[in-house]
Chains A and B, each alone.
Chain A
Amino acid sequence: MMRKPTNWLLTVLIALGSLLILFPLYMTISIALKNSEEMAASIFALPTGLHFENFTRAIEATNFFNAFKNSAMVTAISVVVILLTNSLVAYAIARNMNMKFFKGLYFYFISAMFIPFQIIMLPVVKVTTDLHMNNVAGLIILYIVYGLAFNVFVYVGYIRSIPYELEEAANVDGASVWGTYWKIIFPLLAPINATIGILSCLSSWNDFMLPLILLGDQNSYTLPLVQYVFQGQFGTDFNLAFASYLLALSPMVVVYLFAQKWIINGITQGAIK
């Protein structure tokens, strides 16, 4: 293996490119910390005083903690249940692909990946309203059920690469199918569970459309939906608006700062599989 010297030209180019990524985030943080006089002086300059009152105003105006609670609950519950149930469904399918029913089920689920949400969007509001599911619980159920299409595809691919011998040994010892799944298969799924968990977490935390069409009661709004609803009321008070945006973005950014390597590796893992 030859050790190549550091390519400084590329390092500089990559650094310049990353400034394009960071600039809007710098603007967000700096506007959220300024007041209107500082804004008038210069939009670009660093804030001279730290106006944390923007955040307290934003928390009050948008009832931030309530929306945060809703988003956190929807995300946490849907991710946990997705990991437990979608992998179970995929396990049953992966181990019975020789049977028509399970093979059919596999193609039934994955073909749903091609169906744009818009064709379901209008009727699903009717269905969920009739069932009194136009609330946080309904949102969670829909994330879990809709996750099946993509997750079954990924899980089945992974489970089929796990040698069958492990389970056969357990069967001989008289373990039930459920026991085999829980004690042998589920622990082996850890790498792919990480991938599915991260992707589901990001998509339900940041989703805007499903909460928009489903949630009726303002107390059940999630963070992105709250930003949308308050957009009109923020008006030209950009400091308030940006403090609110920053508050809404920050929980995921904080998670990312700590788990960055793990998150990127998890997604890379899923991509190679």
Chain B
Amino acid sequence: MAKRRTAFYLMTIPALLLFFAFHTYPALQGIFYSFTNWDGFSSSYDFVGFKNFVNIFQDDNVINSYMFTFKYSIVVTIFINILSLMIALGLNSKIKFKNFFRGVYFLPNILSVLIVGFIFNYLFSNVFTVWGAKLGSEFLSQNILGNANWAWVGIVIVAVWQGIAFNTILYLAGLQTIPQDLYEASSLDGASRWREFWSITFPLLAPSFTINMVLAMKGALMVFDQVVALTGGGPGRSTQSIALLIYTGGFQGGEFAYQSANAVIYFIVIVVISVLQLKFLQKREMDL
């Protein structure tokens, strides 16, 4: 028995040590440095208490990056969920070439986010502008990514184009768990398609809805690759996401400690949003 127990410890302790060394320890270090003024390369630093945190709340760049990231995340989450639910409903109904279309809609999920971003970068500047000009619209004939007010919409479009792939598959999996006889019963009762969706499909999809909302939101809050490929944070700083700000400030701007403090706040924000979302959506599942 003791031998068995030893084996179980041997199976987990190396993983525990490695995980601590490369995940927990750096995270603790990040928290530690957030109370200093270290720039990332000097040999010495001083403790500054909560000064970094106080400054962050007054830093326009930080506030701006949070505003952009929240606005972007909310819009992306809503659009991804509406569109992927609609596509999943379509793919789950009686259509021709079902497997082929399922394959097409999932395709973006296997592509590199960065390279997709580069491809769309070209489409925005050289293709969509041509269409805009043909339509005779002055607004649409300009590159949206070059417009400080609208560049974020361009990033939303790319994130939604790619993000619906995964969520569609999750919704499709959820739809397939709904027993068919429920629909047969409702059609005998003469329920309309619309009624059927709101009284049967949507309530029974509640678990898929929860997981899709949380995953889409979490992914969007961490947006980095798309921004790098599409705008680099610009024009100006209009599309600088939190992740990008921590990266550029921390590695290139000599703000290691300051951006560590920003990362600590970002961590708290993500945990609070995820927990609130889960609480709210699971409560909704119970109520249904």
Question: With A95-B8, A120-B26 given, is the CB distance from A227 to B87 under 8 Å?
Answer: no
A241-270, CB under 8 A of B: which get 1 and which 0?
A: 110010011001101100011011001100
Q: Is the CB of A241 within 8 A of B267?
A: no
A174-202, CB under 8 A of B: which get 1 and which 0?
A: 00111001000000000000000000001
CA distance A136 to B274 in the complex (A): 33
A48-75, CB under 8 A of B: which get 1 and which 0?
A: 0000000000000000000000000000
Q: Is the CB of B263 within 8 A of A227?
A: no
A153 — which chain B residues lie within 8 A by C-beta? none
Question: With A14-B91, A224-B114 given, is the CB distance from A92 to B11 under 8 Å?
Answer: yes
A118 — which chain B residues lie within 8 A by C-beta? 222, 242-243, 246-247, 263, 266-267
Q: Which residues on B are within 8 Å of A, measured CB to CB?
A: 3-4, 7-9, 11-12, 15-16, 18-19, 21-27, 29-31, 33, 40, 87, 90-91, 93-97, 99, 101-116, 118-120, 122-123, 126-127, 130, 161, 166, 169-170, 172-174, 176-177, 180, 184, 208, 211, 221-222, 224-225, 228-229, 242-243, 246-247, 250-251, 256, 259-260, 263-264, 266-267, 270-271, 274
* Additional A-B contact list (9), CB under 8 Å, known A89-B12, A271-B174: A8-B96, A15-B101, A17-B90, A24-B119, A27-B127, A89-B11, A109-B19, A118-B263, A248-B115
A104-142, CB under 8 A of B: which get 1 and which 0?
A: 010011001011111111111111100000000000011
Q: Is the CB of B114 within 8 A of A227?
A: yes
Question: With A11-B96, A124-B26 given, is the CB distance from A148 to B263 under 8 Å?
Answer: no
A209 — which chain B residues lie within 8 A by C-beta? 224-225
Partner of B19, one of A28, A148, A242: A148
Interface size class of A (residues with CB under 8 A): 35 or more
Q: Is the CB of B19 within 8 A of A268?
A: no
Nearest A residue to B102 via CB reads A264
A174, chain B: closest CB distance, angstroms: 11
Could you name 14 residue pairs across A and B whose Cβ atoms are closer than 8 Å?
A: A11-B96, A18-B104, A21-B104, A108-B16, A121-B246, A121-B247, A121-B263, A123-B26, A126-B26, A202-B109, A206-B113, A208-B112, A209-B225, A252-B110
A172 — which chain B residues lie within 8 A by C-beta? none
* Main secondary structure on A side of the interface with B: helix
A93 — which chain B residues lie within 8 A by C-beta? 12
Q: Is the CB of A267 within 8 A of B169?
A: yes
Q: Is the CB of A14 within 8 A of B130?
A: no
A76-97, CB under 8 A of B: which get 1 and which 0?
A: 0000000001101101110110
Tell me which residues from 1 to 52 in chain A have a Cβ below 8 Å from any Cβ of chain B.
1-2, 4-8, 10-11, 13-15, 17-18, 20-22, 24-25, 27-28, 31, 43-44
Q: Is the CB of B26 within 8 A of A92?
A: no
Query: Quick one: which of A21, A119, A213 has the most chain B CB within 10 A?
Result: A119
Is residue A159 within 8 Å, beta carbon to beta carbon, of the partner chain? Answer: no
Partner of B115, one of A109, A120, A176, A227: A227
Q: Is the CB of B115 within 8 A of A264?
A: no
Nearest A residue to B224 via CB reads A209
Partner of A105, one of B16, B40, B169: B16
Nearest A residue to B225 via CB reads A208
Q: Is the CB of B105 within 8 A of A208?
A: no
A152, chain B: closest CB distance, angstroms: 9
Partner of B22, one of A10, A145, A260, A263: A145
Partner of B172, one of A120, A124, A177, A268: A268
Is residue A158 within 8 Å, beta carbon to beta carbon, of the partner chain? Answer: no
CA distance A186 to B7 in the complex (A): 16
B107 — which chain A residues lie within 8 A by C-beta? 21, 25, 253, 256
A267 — which chain B residues lie within 8 A by C-beta? 166, 169
Question: With A43-B127, A227-B114, A228-B114 given, is the CB distance from A119 to B22 under 8 Å?
Answer: no
CA distance A114 to B276 in the complex (A): 13
B12 — which chain A residues lie within 8 A by C-beta? 89, 92-93, 102, 105
Q: Is the CB of A208 within 8 A of B266?
A: no
CA distance A122 to B267 in the complex (A): 14
A214, chain B: closest CB distance, angstroms: 11
Q: Is the CB of A127 within 8 A of B21?
A: yes
